[in-house]
A and B are shown apart, each in its own frame.
Chain A
């Protein structure tokens, strides 16, 4: 077992892990942050997307030890406890961008990365291409695409910087 320390959602955390412990396992099992999900074992589905130092990454394809000293944001860290929702979260609710909710945390974290890279004015084609790393089985993506476009705009209006909440 090795010690690992990082900052997760603004809090310094440490833990003892095996070298083979994946970041997603560390988040879910050690920290009990179960909003980050595992939907596949081949890095395809994107249910596990979190931000490492502001950049979207599949946490099923990272070792916890690779994140030593990093700053991690998960879905639980997007809105302050009892504070208002992040505009992207709000946009998913407003546009019915989710059904079973399982892919949703990864979708929202991936959406924020699209805004970081592509800005606030996103057309449908761009969003669809940029969602290549996330699979949803429920929505047919129609409302997810709408939600991301709306969320990106709302972040601009609300003065939320591209690197929201990080």
Chain B
């Protein structure tokens, strides 16, 4: 392994600009003559708009214009769409309601945009936004997914607020298996609604050049090409070749910046109308009511086991809240990213899953770190843990008994696991966590008056999204391949253009490690270019832990083409047969001779083309590729959480955390561990702290960081991280992906630990001190009765 090659903990290239304050985020970009946008948003969860009067606002100082939903309609700006078609079990297509960027007739959630004020300064825009007079006829609202079907109908297209009723698996086989079961574990779960809260708020800056009829959008997006495609093809703002989307430095995404949002559409539209660049930056409270939220499932689940604890079948019924409108990929999250993972790491013969997706008067819900897989893992890992406890079987033994042991393994819910070793990660985690010493630690804690508990989560996920043919057959509207372009300059330095996008993942470093290793050239001589539709040919962006598995594979493919072409050039230079050229460590050698030439010379000769006829061999050294994987990847692992609970207050302290993950090939262990840390923190956040709460009128009670509890440094421990490795057979590097694992694994581990400590399963997320104290009080009352 070289110091900068695959497997090395290379320090990140991107850090220099960030630690010196020279990052360029969207809000940092300033265009000459730019004006600022402030949105007028609905204070009501559900209401008809009876009139909008902007006359006072338009006369305020600095105001350039006020635009409304009616004007948007007049200008024939199209609606936002959801790009993944889900069919109900009766075969009917999902009920996608119109989602205009500015509401003209009706608002469907608090924060729904009604108008936009464009002014010289942000303060002026906000001053005037308050003066836009909107009259509403307030309608009854529904926010609880469990009550959505009987609530007031939100969209004409969707009776009972039902978007689809989807199912997966063989219900008859499951029923039969349950009928013959010795033990059945039943569980009701609310998977709490979360607010992603990337620390950089969303922003958009749009500019129109009337001379070229060209629109440019700087945007906080995880996938600029998809944004361009949707805004061009569906919203109809401009044809793709007249729209450039730039994602500069982006301050975290976690899914929430995948989606195409109303604000960027409005900024583009306004910029063209005004002839001036228009910038909008959310403030945090605005983010809370406009960024897509995550999770929000209500689930009943059952597990059937035989007398030894062998799982016979699983039955899951879920209501998924998709909010007021269908966000870009919302439909796929509680279906193909959820139901397909319900087999966990286990050999389960029969699974049946039903999911009803509903509209409510809440912010749209879409993918958030893990997206469907944390919800599935929580169902599976809680069921298994509880089943073990109920049957008097050590949860570790129950897991071992049911692990998938041979590969490939076809689950009853579509996925075919191609590689893994679940025993290995469990074994290593048990050692790292010193589970053997747990009882001693528990007794010691008891002497201090603390309740100590241990919880496991042996999770699996499907990442590296995904084979285009597979996702296409499941309803996805786009292919999920990735593209790369490798440009070798005449001096031998290299630019790699990728369709993935980094917003914290460190692609500028890891992708350069790959190129450095393959071409044998210095790490410093490689630049990674991303996030600009005018530079990168096309790409699907970054989410679903796909950038390594799919994005780097595309680079490998392009590098192979580069190597082949470079060998041809070298053959001409060395006057040898192409087949005799060996390329190693940045040097081209004629096999069996000492005749050789360097990378730099070959690059130069490719461009000066003095040594070969340009008709036989094209000058230049630049190759592109599109890589489509043959399967999902299946990262898996074991997380073990140890907690101590203060009986008096109910406060949970996470004492230790052990994570052993199998991510296949690890390109940069430092970065991979960082991804695991961050994922765990978000998972712990879901389990202990975070929860978006709406009141019955549809007001978001947790509408700012004053009320929504984000994990702080003192809420978390340091993490013990270990790795095991089985290579993914579905891509050339053997990478599985690591971005979401922590968030997927963690919630179940925490709740399993808390329930172990307090001796009752009756706990909901977030398990705040009050929740734990109440559960303890209930058990004490029961014990006393």
Contact = CB atoms under 8 A, between A and B. Distances in A.
Asked if the two chains touch in their complex, CB atoms less than 8 Å apart, one says: yes
B19 A93 contact: yes
Interface in A31-62: 32-42, 44-45, 47
A71 interface: no
Interface string A86-115: 000100111010111111110010000000
Interface string B680-712: 111000000000000000000000111000111
A85 interface: yes
A117 interface: no
Contact of B704 (A41, A99, A136, A140): A41
Nearest to A130: B713
B50 interface: no
B284 A92 contact: no
Given A79-B20, A100-B252, A40 B284 contact: yes
A11 interface: no
B251 A74 contact: no
Contacts of A36: 21
Nearest to A146: B718
A154 interface: no
Interface in A59-76: 74-76
Contact of A132 (B12, B249, B714): B714
Interface string B493-528: 000000000011110000000000000000000000
A124 B718 CA distance: 9
Interface residues of A, number: 55
Interface stretch (B197-205, B333-341, B456-464): B197-205
Nearest to A100: B504
Contacts of A101: 14-15, 17-19, 23, 249, 251, 504
A74 B239 CA distance: 42
A118 interface: no
A131 B678 CA distance: 16
Contacts of A96: 11-12, 670-671, 673-674
Given A39-B284, A145-B713, A100 B704 contact: no
Nearest to A105: B21
A3 interface: no
A18 B714 contact: no
Contacts of B249: 100-101
Contact of B677 (A28, A34, A74, A140): A140
Nearest to A20: B123
A145 B718 contact: yes
B28 A34 contact: yes
B25 interface: yes
Given A41-B284, A44-B705, A100-B503, A137 B198 contact: yes
Contacts of B712: 128, 131-132, 135, 141
Given A41-B704, A141-B716, A34 B21 contact: yes
B765 interface: no
A60 B506 CA distance: 29
Interface string B174-218: 000000000000000000000011111100000000000000000
Contacts of B283: 38, 40-41
B279 to A, nearest CB: 11
A64 B251 CA distance: 26
Q: Interface extent on B, as a size class?
A: 35 or more
Contacts of B136: none
Given A45-B284, A45-B705, A139 B15 contact: no
A14 interface: no
Contacts, number: 181
A26 to B, nearest CB: 13
Nearest to B680: A140
Given A47-B199, A93-B11, A143 B677 contact: yes
Interface string B1-42: 000000000011011111111111101101000000000000
A20 B681 CA distance: 36
A40 B250 CA distance: 16
B12 to A, nearest CB: 7
B28 A98 contact: no
Contacts of A143: 674, 677
Contact of B713 (A40, A85, A144): A144
A40 B288 CA distance: 10
A35 B12 contact: no
A142 interface: yes
A137 B199 contact: yes
Nearest to A86: B19
Nearest to B9: A96
B626 interface: no
B612 interface: no
Contacts of B704: 40-42
B714 A128 contact: yes
A2 to B, nearest CB: 15
A42 B199 contact: no
19 contacts: A35-B20, A37-B199, A37-B200, A45-B199, A75-B20, A96-B674, A98-B19, A102-B200, A102-B251, A108-B19, A127-B713, A128-B713, A131-B714, A135-B712, A137-B196, A139-B681, A141-B716, A142-B674, A142-B716
Given A137-B198, A138-B674, A141-B716, 8 more contacts: A39-B251, A40-B705, A42-B704, A76-B20, A79-B20, A132-B713, A136-B713, A140-B681
Which 8 residue pairs of A and B lie closest in terms of their CB atoms, listed nearest first? Answer: A35-B21, A102-B251, A101-B18, A140-B681, A100-B504, A99-B504, A75-B21, A140-B677
Interface of A: 18, 20, 28, 32-42, 44-45, 47, 74-76, 78-79, 85, 89, 92-94, 96, 98-105, 108, 124, 127-129, 131-132, 134-145
Interface of B: 11-12, 14-25, 27-28, 30, 123, 196-201, 249-252, 254, 283-285, 503-506, 670-671, 673-674, 677-682, 704-706, 710-714, 716, 718-719, 742
